């Protein structure tokens, strides 16, 4: 181990940025409180997402420092993207010689950097460990499995995740239930988001519109599926305006299938560019309900007590259904589920334990206690 503990934090894609912000804040606070300077950290951006709306706006709004190292891998097939991240990140690790890397979530960058670090003998902390959809057709599920089997510390958001890891034979000592890191960012940005009143910019009234995001390959990469979803949204928009910030993958597929121009003409269906963090939270917070296939939105709606329909056959976040406001939906049940929500048929949820805005602090404390324990053991 270096005399000074060196940490590398990895981020690559949109859902990573709100997860690293609380970690960086907690690390900075720790450094300020520390009389001796015995640790340092660097931020690596793999560039999996690179557009202003998919990356830069989050750095500004979440007050993230500029990345120390940009890998700029960009888009490619999974194998090519993963391999490019690995090749570049190996160079970073050989140069920087970190003691720890911290990875978050389940994107290709999470898995690629974990693989590199594990082979170089660098310790890995995985934030948001243990989530399982039990559906290996999802690229994210493969990323989660590989990352968790290799990580040295597994920071979980809820007890169900601990149980998944224990069942997979991960030792209990490595598993730390710390709560939900996304919620840290939500708690610290909620006032700013609410001040925005973003719905007014789109001529929408409080509680009188639905907020939609969809980008999973299973929903957007098949013409029939995507076309069915658009026709359900067209029907919904006759009763309730819909605002739909369109992910680049979804826009590409809508255009490819000749659906984009048709969808743009539907009255009441507002297709807009991807939004920043504050505008997204503001719109979700004031909406009647949300339709999504995103992981983060299932959690944010649970925290905000906004009804959420998740257009997927499963979720790796069952606590949002058991305790929160989330319900699964499908192409077959979507219209009926919309009707139910329009008729006010939904129940309130509760906020799960440790979704309290303090997860970043807990992680940093555990990381330091762990490393301290290790250096004491070496003496
Ligand atoms: C990725 C993550 C997913 C996460 C999602 C959030 C993996 C396997 N998937 O999926 O877990 O929920 O991000 O957004 O890591 N594109 C742009 N601009 C960008 C980024 C992407 O135009 O800044 C385009 C790409 O060219 C590509 C498409 O969007 O055609 C999809 O991007 P990609 O990185 O393949 O995966 P996502 O679907 O975004």
Task: Report the separation in Å between the CA atom of 333 and the middle of ligand 1, taken as the mean of its atom positions.
Answer: 27
| pLDDT tens string 307-358 | 999 999 999 999 999 999 999 999 999 999 999 999 998 888 999 999 999 9
247 and 297 Cβ atoms separated by less than 8 Å: no
| pLDDT tens string 250-267 | 999 999 999 999 999 999
pLDDT of amino acid 37: 59
Counting residues of the chain whose pLDDT is more than 70, the rounded percentage is 97
pLDDT of amino acid 38: 77
| pLDDT tens string 218-242 | 999 999 999 999 999 999 999 999 9
pLDDT of amino acid 32: 81
Active site residue 215: yes
pLDDT of amino acid 347: 84
pLDDT band of 377, cuts 50, 70, 90: low
Q: Residue holding tokens 């605002």? A: 243
Give the torsion sign (CA, 12, 194, 363, 176): negative
Task: Write out the two tokens for 50.
Answer: 């690179």
pLDDT of amino acid 371: 80
pLDDT of amino acid 39: 84
pLDDT of amino acid 183: 98
54 pocket-lining for ligand 1 (C-beta < 6 Å): yes
What mean pLDDT comes out for the span 98-124? 98
**Which of 11, 48, 250 maximizes ligand 1 atoms within 8 Å of its Cβ, making it the mutation to test the pocket?**
48
Long-range CB contact pairs, 230-237, < 8 A, 24+: 230/254, 230/259, 230/262, 230/263, 230/266, 232/331, 232/334, 232/335, 232/338, 233/263, 233/266, 233/269, 234/263, 234/266, 234/269, 235/335, 235/338, 236/210, 236/335, 236/338, 237/266, 237/267, 237/268, 237/269
251 pocket-lining for ligand 1 (C-beta < 6 Å): no
pLDDT of amino acid 187: 98
What mean pLDDT comes out for the span 75-89? 98
pLDDT band of 35, cuts 50, 70, 90: low
pLDDT band of 276, cuts 50, 70, 90: very high
pLDDT of amino acid 19: 98
Strand intervals (E) in the chain: 5-11, 39-45, 69-70, 100-104, 123-127, 153-156, 175-177, 210-213, 242-245, 269-272, 289-292, 308-311, 326-329
Q: Which residue of the set 45, 49, 126, 215 is catalytic?
A: 215
CA–CA distance, 8 with 124 (Å, rounded to integer): 10
Query: For residue 332, what are the CA distances in angstroms to 179, 229, 242, 243?
Result: 34, 10, 20, 22
Q: What residue's CA is closest to ligand 1, atom 39?
A: 249
DSSP 8-state code for residue 11: E
What mean pLDDT comes out for the span 123-142? 98
pLDDT at 36 over 70: no
Task: Report the separation in Å between the CA atom of 85 and the middle of ligand 1, taken as the mean of its atom positions.
Answer: 14
Output the DSSP codes for 24-76.
HHHHHHHHHH-SS--EEEEEEE--SS-SIIIIIHHHHHTTPPPPSEE----S-
pLDDT at 117 over 70: yes
pLDDT of amino acid 272: 98
Contacts of 52 (CB under 8 A, 6+ apart): none
pLDDT at 375 over 70: no
pLDDT band of 25, cuts 50, 70, 90: very high
Q: Could you tell me which of 368, 375, 350 has the C-alpha nearest to residue 125?
A: 368
- 201-210 burial, b at 16+ Cβ within 10 Å, e below that, comes to eeebeeeebb
Phi-psi group of 137: left, alpha or beta (phi > 0 → left; psi -120 to 50 → alpha; rest → beta): alpha
CB burial class (10 A; 0-12, 13-18, 19+) of residue 116?
A: buried
Q: Residue holding tokens 């005399």? A: 3
Task: Write out the two tokens for 157.
Answer: 């958001």
DSSP 8-state code for residue 318: T
What mean pLDDT comes out for the span 93-105? 98
CA–CA distance, 188 with 18 (Å, rounded to integer): 11
What mean pLDDT comes out for the span 95-116? 98
What mean pLDDT comes out for the span 27-31? 88
Residue 296: what are its φ and ψ, rounded to 5°? -60, -40
Counting residues of the chain whose pLDDT is more than 90, the rounded percentage is 91
What mean pLDDT comes out for the span 102-124? 98
């Amino acid at each position: 181990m270096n005399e000074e503990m060196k940490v590398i934090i990895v981020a690559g894609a949109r859902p990573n940025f709100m997860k690293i912000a609380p970690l960086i804040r907690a690390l900075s606070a720790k450094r300020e409180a520390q009389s001796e300077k015995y640790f340092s950290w660097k931020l690596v951006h793999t560039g999996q997402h690179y557009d202003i709306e998919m990356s830069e706006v989050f750095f500004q709004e979440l007050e993230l420092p500029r990345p120390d190292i940009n890998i700029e891998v960009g888009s490619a097939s999974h194998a090519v993207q993963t391999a490019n991240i690995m090749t570049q990140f190996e160079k970073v690790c050989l140069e920087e010689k970190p003691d720890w890397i911290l990875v978050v979530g389940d994107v290709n960058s999470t898995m690629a950097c974990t693989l590199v670090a594990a082979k170089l003998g660098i310790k890995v902390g995985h934030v948001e460990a243990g989530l399982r959809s039990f559906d290996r057709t999802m690229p994210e599920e493969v990323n989660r499995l590989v990352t968790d089997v290799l990580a040295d510390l597994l920071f979980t958001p809820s007890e169900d995740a601990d149980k998944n890891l224990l069942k997979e034979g991960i030792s209990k000592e490595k598993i730390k239930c710390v709560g939900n890191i996304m919620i840290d960012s939500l708690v610290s940005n909620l006032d700013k988001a609410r001040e925005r009143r973003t719905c007014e910019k789109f001529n929408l009234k409080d509680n009188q519109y639905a907020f939609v995001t969809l980008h999973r390959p299973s929903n957007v990469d098949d013409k029939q599926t995507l076309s069915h979803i658009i026709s359900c949204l067209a029907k919904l928009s006759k009763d309730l305006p819909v605002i739909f910030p369109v992910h680049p993958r979804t826009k590409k597929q809508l255009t490819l299938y000749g659906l984009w121009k048709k969808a743009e003409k539907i009255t009441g269906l507002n297709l807009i560019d991807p939004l920043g963090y504050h505008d997204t939270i503001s719109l979700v917070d004031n909406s009647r309900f949300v339709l999504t296939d995103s992981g983060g939105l299932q959690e944010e709606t649970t925290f905000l007590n906004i009804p959420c329909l998740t257009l997927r056959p499963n979720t790796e976040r069952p606590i949002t259904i058991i305790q929160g406001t989330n319900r699964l939906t499908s192409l077959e049940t979507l219209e009926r589920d919309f009707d139910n929500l329009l008729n006010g048929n939904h129940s309130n949820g509760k906020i799960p334990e440790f979704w309290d805005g303090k997860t970043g602090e807990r992680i940093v404390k555990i990381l330091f206690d762990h490393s301290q324990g290790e250096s004491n053991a070496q003496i």
